[in-house]
Amino acid sequence: MSNRSSIDGIIERSRAYNCVQCAKCSSVCPLSGVDESFSPRLIAEKILLGFDEILYEKGLWTCLTCGACDDKCPSDVDYRGFIRELRGKSRQREEVWKCAHGGVLQSLMRMMSDSALKQDRVGWITGDMKVADKGEILFFVGCLPYFDIIFEDFGVKSTDIAGSAVKIFNHLGVTPVVMQDERCCGHDLLWSGDTENFMRLAKNNLKQIKKTGAVKVVTSCPECYRTLKLDYAEYFGEQDFEVLHFSEYLSDSINRGELVFNEACRLNGRVTYQDPCRLGRHLGVYEQPRDVLGSIPGACLGELELNRDRAVCCGSSCWINCGQSSKEIQKRKLEEAKSIADLLVTACPKCQIHLKCAMGDLEGMDMDVVDLTVLAARALGYLV
């Protein structure tokens, strides 16, 4: 298939041919808000007019695929899908997309796509946590054990999120399955246009999940959540397990009266919540994390001005891009959060890493950023 006819296919699937050049996308785009040279409208126009060189320009890779534009587009263009597929075309000339952190995370994901790879990824499980190899409820950990090693210097321990999740499961009388040989879900490779390695990772995971007999897969990472729930279904057909984000699992447990936070662990502080793009705009989970926060004794929730479907991304996506624009988005968010709250709560391990990293660049920004799962475990009295 020629380059142009495959691009025509992308234009058709994403409905980009409907684009009326209204620029509503550019007006809400968080990147355009900090970098005038970035214009989603212009990218669409150039592709529609056949200026395919745009495929090899930076803009295609700086887009956060956050979906803020999709929600405002009057022509129903699937802009994030449009970008995702165009990246697959762009990858043919690798020199234009140098990923953040020297591409180490993408390399790690590609290594994980080799089914013969032997990993030790359960070292974070301590003697006080009960996990199983088979069972109905599976906790999908994601790449948290690797983040601990790569981002140690930021003072973030991502496996605390996994440990907290297991402790909460155990508190509820559930022994979750944790897979010894889980692989990266493939989210970042899929959104970087590397469909081939995404599919290899997904096949490994689906094979492993099937062996456990799980009927419910719960994850604390919104990107794993989106990938397992939507993308595995798109590429491999509907699966016979349900996928939940941990905030949904917590919220359901609270609503059933099974999970009651400990009054003795009162928070007594103002909190605000960062809606992760994949959890919020991509899958519409806005209220469950807020329900959990509302149930924690002493947590007084104040909202960022742009929240829920209008929320601004944490500034970096898929470990592809991290530059001045990312830092500016993060700086604005942290400054606003600090002006209304003592604690910034996220429900995404990557949001936490990106915001903690930005904090290191901002003088006097000593705000605590904590994951919702960790906060919930603390509110039950666990020392995390």
Contact in structure between 291 and 260 (CB atoms under 8 Å): no
Is residue 22 involved in binding ligand SF4 (CB under 6 A)? yes
Q: What's the CA gap between 17 and 44, in Å, rounded?
A: 9
The letter for the amino acid at 248 is: E
Is residue 39 involved in binding ligand SF4 (CB under 6 A)? no
CB of 87 to ligand SF4, least distance (A): 12
Closer Cβ to ligand SF4, 145 or 276, answer by number: 276
Q: What's the CA gap between 76 and 175, in Å, rounded?
A: 43
By CB under 6 A, how many residues form the interface with ligand SF4?
26
Is residue 163 involved in binding ligand SF4 (CB under 6 A)? no
Q: 204: part of which helix (H) or strand (E)? A: helix 195-212
Closer Cβ to ligand SF4, 20 or 104, answer by number: 20
Query: Residues 71-90: x/- map of binding to ligand SF4 (CB under 6 A)?
Result: --xxx-x-xx----------
CB of 310 to ligand SF4, least distance (A): 11
CB of 62 to ligand SF4, least distance (A): 8
Which single residue is written with the structure tokens 């479907």? 309
Which single residue is written with the structure tokens 């999740």? 165
Burial of 352 (0-12, 13-18, 19+ CB in 10 A): buried
- Binders of ligand SF4 among residues 166 to 185 (CB under 6 A) are none
Query: Residues 40-69: x/- map of binding to ligand SF4 (CB under 6 A)?
Result: xx--x------------------xxxxxxx
Instruction: Tell me which of 29, 318, 357, 372 binds ligand SF4, using CB under 6 A.
Output: 29
Instruction: Tell me which of 20, 104, 111, 260 binds ligand SF4, using CB under 6 A.
Output: 20
Q: What's the CA gap between 292 and 251, in Å, rounded?
A: 6
The three-state secondary structure class of 274 is strand
CB of 323 to ligand SF4, least distance (A): 13
Closer Cβ to ligand SF4, 177 or 320, answer by number: 320
Residues that bind ligand SF4 (CB under 6 A): 19-25, 29-31, 40-41, 44, 63-69, 73-75, 77, 79-80
